[in-house]
Amino acid sequence: MNFDVVDLIRTKRDGGRLSDAEIDWVIDAYTTGGVADYQMSALAMAILLRGMDRAEIARWTAAMIASGERMDFSSLTRPTADKHSTGGVGDKITLPLAPLVAVFDVAVPQLSGRGLGHTGGTLDKLESIPGWRADLSNDEILRQLDDVGAVICAAGSGLAPADKKLYALRDTTGTVEAIPLIASSIMSKKIAEGTGALVLDVKVGSGAFMKSLDQATELARTMVDLGKDAGVATVALLTGMDTPLGRTAGNALEVRESLEVLAGGGPADVVELTVALAREMLAAAGKPDVDPAPALRDGRAMDVWRRMIAAQGGDPDAPLPVAEHRHTVVAERGGFVSRMDAFAVGVAAWRLGAGRARKEDDVQAVAGVEMHAKPGDRVAAGQPLFTLHTATPERFDRALAALDGAVDYSDAAVEVPGLILGRLD
């Protein structure tokens, strides 16, 4: 059945709801070129302003899934569980998390992306490891899950092609913030991926896409409902992103910090969130009584990491690249660090070369920001606060400008808010 796209735009503009048949048609027509970019832009803006109900969002997601292939992990002898983060600064959790969960005979098909703007990309981080490759065929993914138990790789072009086209359009038309479109974008790929269970890490704060807890809760609830409607056991944690995660933001820097976590050390916040998400993934995969924390301390997770990296052509023993140029920023005064703005740190890392402004841009493996103090820490005037890393020292001035005003100090000790703000299932 064919429809007139202008009628659909008017319906949503005026606060009406789209039928299943209308949604199926417009997603298919847009994917195949029958609906123009400018027409889909108008519909996306109407959705941003007027919203969608749960049934509409579920059908929109299903239509995007139907635009491409679905992966099938039913041949595996172990259950599958995946994690998705909505993105933040210093968010390296996938790197230690995937091998940690795989220790307990749960397969982790972690199809990940690249960074854009101030948020880092998992694939960019891992590509700082010599030889490691992100692009695997479906058969290679299945074999690695069967053999190693974990894979972190790029999503194939066949998964939800409608989303790839619509995502690029939203980015240029001021409609990125539409919660129905964010939720369906994330969940169409995750459901098409074929995982049996999904844990969502929905970030809240200055360095996150969702700035308020109310916004983040709405997005998390929408995605959990979509997972439930599709038969995927889905749980969401709401986690703080006013302050960067860990003490590094940048590609090779974050891999190095992830290795510290896999070796039983690393920053307390990275360990806390890695273990919390691992517990959720294991419970969703039918193993609620497993405590994953000891596997970080005793080397089992590191063993899986080494096998996972080697399986994708990487050398787990190769030294990570190091920046030739560094610049230290010192504390302006003594006292306690009371605030460290995650967005400012993310922009600084991006300007140093760790991120990209456009999808086709290259990134530097060595670029980023190292944090020597975090909120709650006591510092003396002149003590190192940040070290900036880059291969191109002409970038320092703009990175320093991003950090201007990013840190506040207090004479009295400050209470650091908890990392995990809520849970939805």
Per DSSP bridges, beta strands 378-379 and 335-340 are antiparallel
Question: Cβ(298)–Cβ(374) under 8 Å?
Answer: no
Residue 170 catalytic? yes
Which residue among the candidates 41, 185, 206, 258 is catalytic per the annotation? Answer: 185
Question: Cβ(417)–Cβ(423) under 8 Å?
Answer: no
Which residue among the candidates 82, 91, 163, 269 is catalytic per the annotation? Answer: 163
Which residue among the candidates 12, 84, 247, 256 is catalytic per the annotation? Answer: 84
Q: Give pLDDT tens digits for 15-71.
A: 999 999 999 999 999 999 999 999 999 999 999 999 999 999 999 999 999 999 999
pLDDT at site 156: 78
Place of tokens 């139907």: 66
pLDDT-derived band at 1 (thresholds 50, 70, 90) equals: confident
Residue 189 catalytic? yes
Give yes or no for residue 164 having a pLDDT over 90.
Answer: no
Give yes or no for residue 312 having a pLDDT over 70.
Answer: yes
Q: Going edge to edge, which strands form the sheet with 82-85?
A: 82-85, 197-204, 233-240, 420-424
pLDDT at site 116: 65
Q: SS3 string of 291-343?
A: CCCHHHHCCHHHHHHHHHHHHCCCCCCCCCCCCCEEEEEECCCCEEEEEECHH
Q: Give pLDDT tens digits for 89-144.
A: 999 999 999 999 999 999 999 988 776 667 778 999 999 999 999 999 999 999 99
**Cβ neighbours of 33 (radius 10 Å):** 9
pLDDT at site 173: 86
Task: Give all domains of the chain, ordered by start, each with its CATH number.
Answer: 5-51 (1.20.970.10), 82-155+174-311 (3.40.1030.10), 325-410 (3.90.1170.30)
Residue 185 catalytic? yes
Which residue among the candidates 189, 247, 279, 351 is catalytic per the annotation? Answer: 189
Q: Give pLDDT tens digits for 333-361.
A: 999 999 999 999 999 999 999 987 766 67
Average pLDDT over residues 382-409: 97
Residue 163 catalytic? yes
pLDDT at site 118: 73
Give yes or no for residue 197 having a pLDDT over 70.
Answer: yes
Q: Give pLDDT tens digits for 282-300.
A: 999 999 999 999 999 999 9
Average pLDDT over residues 250-261: 97
Q: Indicate the average pLDDT of the chain.
A: 94
Which residue among the candidates 170, 256, 374, 395 is catalytic per the annotation? Answer: 170
